[in-house]
Structure 1
Amino acid sequence: MADMSVKILPALADNYMYLIICNKTKEAAIVDPVNPESVLEAVQNENVKLKSVLTTHHHWDHAGGNEKLVTLFKDKLIVYGGDERIGAMTNKIGQDDTFKIGNLDVQCHFTPCHTTGHICYFVQTPARDSKAVFTGDTLFLGGCGRFFEGTAEQMYSALIEKLSNLPDETKVFCGHEYSLQNLKFANHVEPQNVTIQNKIEWSKAKRANNEPTVPSTIGEEKEINPFMRVCVDSVQQYAKSHGNPIEAMRAIRKVKDSFK
């Protein structure tokens, strides 16, 4: 991505933080900086100007580093989020709010369900030739977050009405390395889906080399992710939802919650 770079920063056991860089201005933002020391090291290594924090949701493994990062960093940081429970938040944002990272355009998508204040951040270059979405615990490669504070209706709105309508080439940067577990369940739901089987083998090879499986793309998720495929006949047949995609969403999430 010529005008935009995304540096993947692993954290904790399986979290991902992301340093988003505008290559023209060298301004940067960090997504979910749970490990502030790693963030500061990356900022120095990339020689960029960190300006803002993009918080997807209030859970400690995403927002728990906000206060320390703000304290450690010498310049004032703007901390975006959609939930009053987010530490050090300076700017509360909601659906379709916009701001910039250097020359990059950011649009907020309000995706409550995993938490009531979850935000996904859609980032584009000025020429619209590179696109990325940072989905926290709403959309994972091959899966979605648990419905801790919401409903199947809300996750349907988040995944099908909002994220599915982003351009297919949009790169998806999610909050955790859950891909193999998610794809195992996806294969259980759709055992005839060869695209899922191929993605499992690809993901196994990546993890064997200790490499991340992110990013995927919106278009790819529509092919492999059962929660993005609740309108597809094969998923509805598995869910016994009789043509009702919201019931399919509810049914497959219930199964996934206890799937081994």
Structure 2
Amino acid sequence: MILKKISILSDNYVWVLLNTSGSCIIIDPGLSEPIIQEIERKKWRLRAILLTHNHIDHTGGTRKIIEYFPKISVFGPKETRQYGVNKIVSHGDRIILLDKIFYVFFTPGHTSGHVSYYSQPYIFCGDTLFSAGCGRVFKNKHLEMYRSIKIISSLPDSTLLCCSHEYTLSNLQFSMFILPNDNFIKLYLKKIEIKLKLGQSSLPSYIFFEKKINLFLRTNDNYVKKSIGLKSTCTDFEVFKRLRLKKDFWS
């Protein structure tokens, strides 16, 4: 399988998985025109769309793409059904596309019905987990988001994190604000700054690296606890919630 991405809007990625014969699936098409143009230009054969949640920057192009490719399957949680979804998915479902199995995980928190799709070695997690950060929490559902992130972080270290936004730089800057003496984060920040200046992407990222640079995956770290004013005896969830609230108001 070949992994590609199409940049849309200001910082969104539409992920594309294709096989050697040119059949492909796309994840979270927030716009239609650049995606249709790329498919036509590359002569790919679109087989399916996967939607993670109902926000317009992830779903906005779906209906026009369906008009252009009317025979495709469109998978998504119930909250996306108004965007032309013809196959509703829920936690534990297995989808076979391009001769690969995609496992559906229920990962709420950013929205009430958010799902993620895992097909080794890729996790397409929408706005749940970002490189060096995580998504904003819907209506104070911090515990749901925490549990969703635990699902994703439990995947093998070799898993490639395919999230939907180029937020890595600002997330790393927040990490440095919390842990200014963390040398690994400091080095990784410099690496990402160079990549972005060269017009390259920071994504996908390995879960292995995320466990080092993503504070939302280091909630049992006593250095993190101390840096945000919590005792070493507090729970991982308390750390997660404090970090997320700090990130909400950080600039």
Structure 1 and Structure 2 fold alike (TM over 0.5) = yes
Partner of 2:198: 209
Partner of 2:184: 195
Paired with 2:103 and 2:112, the residues of 1 have a C-alpha distance of: 19
Contact 2:132 2:210 in 1 (8 A): yes
2:77 paired with 1:82: yes
Contact 2:32 2:60 in 1 (8 A): no
Q: Return the letter of the residue paired with 2:64.
A: K
Q: How does 1:140-219 map to 2 (within 5 A)?
A: 140-160=130-150, 162-219=151-208
SS at match of 1:84: helix
2:18 paired with 1:27: no
Partner of 2:57: 61
Q: Return the letter of the residue paired with 1:152.
A: H
Of 46-55 and 173-182, more deviation after overlay is shown by: 46-55
Paired with 1:46 and 1:7, the residues of 2 have a C-alpha distance of: 12
Contact 1:22 1:101 in 2 (8 A): no
Contact 1:26 1:102 in 2 (8 A): no
2:239 paired with 1:254: no
Gaps of 5+ in 2: none
SS at match of 2:103: strand
In the TM superposition, what is the alpha-carbon distance from 1:246 to its structure 2 partner? 0.6
Partner of 2:227: 238
Paired with 1:59 and 1:117, the residues of 2 have a C-alpha distance of: 11
Partner of 1:42: 38
Paired with 2:104 and 2:140, the residues of 1 have a C-alpha distance of: 19
Q: Return the letter of the residue paired with 1:255.
A: K
Paired with 1:133 and 1:258, the residues of 2 have a C-alpha distance of: 28
Q: How does 1:107-126 map to 2 (within 5 A)?
A: 107-124=103-120
Contact 2:158 2:206 in 1 (8 A): yes
1:51 to 47, 53, 62: 47
- Percent identity for Structure 1 against Structure 2: 31
In the TM superposition, what is the alpha-carbon distance from 1:26 to its structure 2 partner? 3.3
Paired with 2:184 and 2:136, the residues of 1 have a C-alpha distance of: 24
Partner of 2:5: 8
| TM-score, L = length of structure 1 | 0.91
- List, as ranges, runs of 4+ consecutive aligned residues in structure 1 with deviation greater than 6 Å: none
In the TM superposition, what is the alpha-carbon distance from 1:105 to its structure 2 partner? 1.7
Gaps of 5+ in 1: 125-130
Paired with 2:249 and 2:140, the residues of 1 have a C-alpha distance of: 18
Paired with 1:98 and 1:190, the residues of 2 have a C-alpha distance of: 40
Paired with 1:57 and 1:113, the residues of 2 have a C-alpha distance of: 11
In the TM superposition, what is the alpha-carbon distance from 1:132 to its structure 2 partner? 0.9
Change (3 A) 1:81 1:150: farther
Paired with 1:150 and 1:48, the residues of 2 have a C-alpha distance of: 41
Contact 1:240 1:248 in 2 (8 A): no
Partner of 1:223: 212
Contact 2:142 2:241 in 1 (8 A): yes
Q: Deviations over 1:120-142 (max 9, x none)?
A: 11112xxxxxx111111101110
In the TM superposition, what is the alpha-carbon distance from 1:220 to its structure 2 partner? 0.8
Paired with 2:140 and 2:36, the residues of 1 have a C-alpha distance of: 34
